[in-house]
Each structure stands twice: as structure tokens, then as C-alpha cells.
Amino acid sequence: MLDLERQALVFNLCLLLPAVLVTTAFVAWPIVKLFQISLHELRLSELMRPIVKPMTLANYERALLHPDMPRVALTTAVFTVASTAVAFLLGMATALALGSLGRGRAAMQTALISPWAVAPVIASVVWMLLLDERFGLINAAVLGTGLASSPVPFLSAPDWALLSVTLVAIWKEYPFFTVMMAAALQSVPRELYEAARLDGAGPVALFRYVTWPLVRPVAVVAIFLATMSAFRNVETIMVMTGGGPARSTETLALRVYTETFRFLSPGTGAALGVVTLFVGLLLAAVFWTAMMRKAR
């Protein structure tokens, strides 16, 4: 009996070995290198050579004590929270509306989730052209309808730029919530709605006491995944504003790229990458704790 169990264990470990090797090669080893680079002051040309310089925390000091860091952290928080929250509300509302449709539901759902299928860079380029101050169609419509007497600086004014990239991120992300919540809503037994209606429950009560408790686990997972995606979002901001104007749209993820490739300081960029990693792990721990608490 023990021999059979041991053979089964060895067989299972052999099945896991390829996945472990791939994970080590593409996840664990890069993280180790990230920590190593963050502890040395290096130039880009030195990354492929053996590191002989002494370890130092100067990169972390330079990254975290930079005068722009509070603003970068605030911009990251505003962009992440706003884009995720609004995208979830829109996705949830869209999923509920789709659930009440009969004929044409599949076609409508396909049309609504089409932004999700567009590559982030392509979507960002299209929106950048639409929002252009001189030639954009949106400004042409605003001026043509008399809503404004001069072009709106969607991408050239700090407040407008952050709002614009956030709205584009929402447009790109809300179809994800629509798909997730629509699938979750289909799993709710119809009998529960019928029983609640017999007890006099209205639409608000149905959602609060029947729908939401059953779809909440899916919602928590979807919000977590979307939060991490928004937190790591580089493409939208890089293409549309490059972090400007006046660094008003620069987030932590974009700062990693800027320090590494624009300022040619891979050590500082790696230090910011480590900070980003720990913030992501903290967010994961918070969401996991919330899920476990709700499960109990």
C-alpha cells in the first residue's frame, strides 16, 4: 500500500516538474534578478555582465524619497481605484440589463464586449486621435454642438489628461466585468427570484438579498484581477500622454519604465519594481483575507 502511494506521489511530482521548471525560469528567476539589480547601482550596459559592485540601498532611497513620489503614488491610486470602481459598476449594470433581454442577447453581448478584444496599444492610439485638441472628432463634435467655444485640452491639460486616460481604461476594462458578472448571474437559480417575489421583494431587495450574495465571490475575484491590471497599466498612459503633461498622469508602473529606459537607471527602476511587487502582494493579501472572511 505504501509503495503504491509512494509511486503515485512520484508520478504526480513528475507531472508537476515541467510546470515548476517553467515557473522558475519565467517568474522566480526574474524576481531574483530584480532584487539583485535593485541592490546595485548599475548602468544598462552592465546588466549582462557579472555584478561586482557592492550592495547598497541607494536605489531605494533615490526612488522612495524622490520629490515626485507622493504625486506618483496619488496618481496611481486615483487611476487604479477610479477605473476599477466605475468599470465594475458599468459592467454589473450591463450584465443585469443583458440578463433581462430575450432575443438578440448574444449579438448585444458580443457588441458590448468588443472593446475588450482590442489590443491596448491600438485602443490607446485610436482614442488619442479621437481626443486630439486640433483634429480629434470628439472636439469637432463639442465645438459643432456649441458645448464649448474652444477646443477641450483632453490630453494637454493635467486634470483633463488624467480624466481622459482613466475613461479610456474604463472603456477598455468594463467588458471584462460584463462577461464575468453575466456568467455569474446565469448561475443564480430562478426559483430563488420567484420565491422572493412571492414574499413581496422588489427589484432592489432582489438584488440585495438574492443576486448579490450569490455573485459576490465572482465579483471579488473580478475586482481583484481588474485592480491588478489597472495598477500595472502602462500601455494606455504611455501611448496617450507619456505620463504628461507635467507628469500629471505618471503612475508607479510607468515610473519603472521611465527610470529604466529613459533615465537609463536600471537600479532605480528595479527598486521601484520591487515596491510595485510588494504593493501587488499586499493587494492580493487584502482581497484574499476579504474572501476568506466572507466565506466563513
CATH number at residue 257: 1.10.3720.10
In this prediction the pTM is: 0.86
| Domain membership flag for residue 61 | no
| Domain membership flag for residue 245 | yes
> How do residues 213-263 score in pLDDT, each as one tens digit?
889 888 988 998 999 999 989 999 999 999 888 889 999 999 999 988 888
Using the predicted structure, report yes or no on whether residue 66 has a pLDDT greater than 80: yes
∠ at Cα 205 (203, 210), nearest 5°? 100
Using the predicted structure, report yes or no on whether residue 76 has a pLDDT greater than 70: yes
The residue segments making up the domain with residue 265 are 70-295
Instruction: State the pLDDT at residue 13.
Output: 86
Residue 4 — pLDDT band, cuts 50, 70, 90? confident
| Domain membership flag for residue 212 | yes
**Hey, what long-range contacts does 43-51 have (CB within 8 A, 24 or more apart)?**
43/264, 43/266, 44/260, 44/261, 44/264, 44/266, 47/266
Considering only CA atoms, which of 177, 173, 283 is closest in space to residue 228? 283
| Domain membership flag for residue 176 | yes
14: left (phi > 0), else alpha (psi -120 to 50), else beta? alpha
- The per-residue b/e assignment along 145-154, b for 16 or more CB within 10 angstroms, e otherwise, is eeeeeebbbb
